[in-house]
Structure 1
Amino acid sequence: METIEVRFTDLRRAAEQVPAFVEDRLGCKAECGLRTGVEEDMSITGLDTEELLLEFSEQFSVDLSQFDFTGLITPESVGNPLHLILFLLFLPVYAVAWTTKLLLGLVYLPFNSEAAISLIKKPISNPFASPPKPRHEILTIGDFVASAAAGRFVKRERVRFVLV
């Protein structure tokens, strides 16, 4: 864990000004906490997040040049139209499969209710679904505050501030 020396007044100023800056730029007046996820809780992704970071960098004189944002910014995805077309084509097959599964579960219910309920609850997978997005680190308001106090972009969890 990296140690950063900072004056209390600078840290306090950052803690007051940064959430107000983010709320102003995103047009929301919700209460921002240090653990508020910029993308997850404030509903922005991709280029919007990048623009917010660049404006933040200019406003608070934060150097972004040495920080790798891979995994912090969710890419914007348009979706694959082929997946939707295939899903719509096979929708009747899914309807028949779900109906059959439900009827079999109801027939089997008097004999073994636990197995019948398990059969009914088990999902039918979609072979045309998009693969799940890889997990990424969450970019938080606390990261912005810590970066404003440090003068360069840092993840709040990876630094410790020492007041001077």
Structure 2
Amino acid sequence: MQFLLDTVETPVGQLFLVTDEQGALRALDFEDYRARLERLLDKYYRHYQLDPLPGSAPEPLIQALTAYFAGDLAALESIPAETAGTAFQRSVWQALRAIPAGQTRSYGQLAAAIGHPSASRAVGLANGSNPVALVVPCHRVIGASGKLTGYGGGLWRKHWLLEHEARHSDGGAAFALV
């Protein structure tokens, strides 16, 4: 399988965009997490070739990311993502996409939403294995206490993204750490 690697600049740093030859998004990660990006690609697509090709990302993907960072939080909802992963992981990722921008859920709430209320740890592992950050908004998951917990892009980015979404959502309130 051949994948194309492109980049886009954002307010939270450069993003790596991995698409297939048909233009489907396969992975998205932050510039300082390339090793994690490659680890997830290795995990999900054992045999693949990653070719750096500036300008290869489909224009609708670039436009949606630009619109999101400009305050159009719904822009990412239109991005189709083709991800590998187990059926359980994909159910978690689908549930993540159902969390409205500007809102958060705990791991336990997410586990209950997919019909596995005692699987919060497994939900956390699936969350951490998400290959398409932002598009599958794993940053919207916080600890049961309301505190920020781990994020593959770094806690400072998670905080920035949650504040960005809170500012631009219907409520317009800033995200508050408990």
Q: Choose between structure 1 and 2: higher helix proportion.
A: 1
Q: TM-score, normalised by structure 1?
A: 0.26
Higher RCO (CA 8 Å, separation ≥ 6 residues): 1
- Pick the structure with greater CA Rg: 1
Higher strand proportion, which one?
A: 2
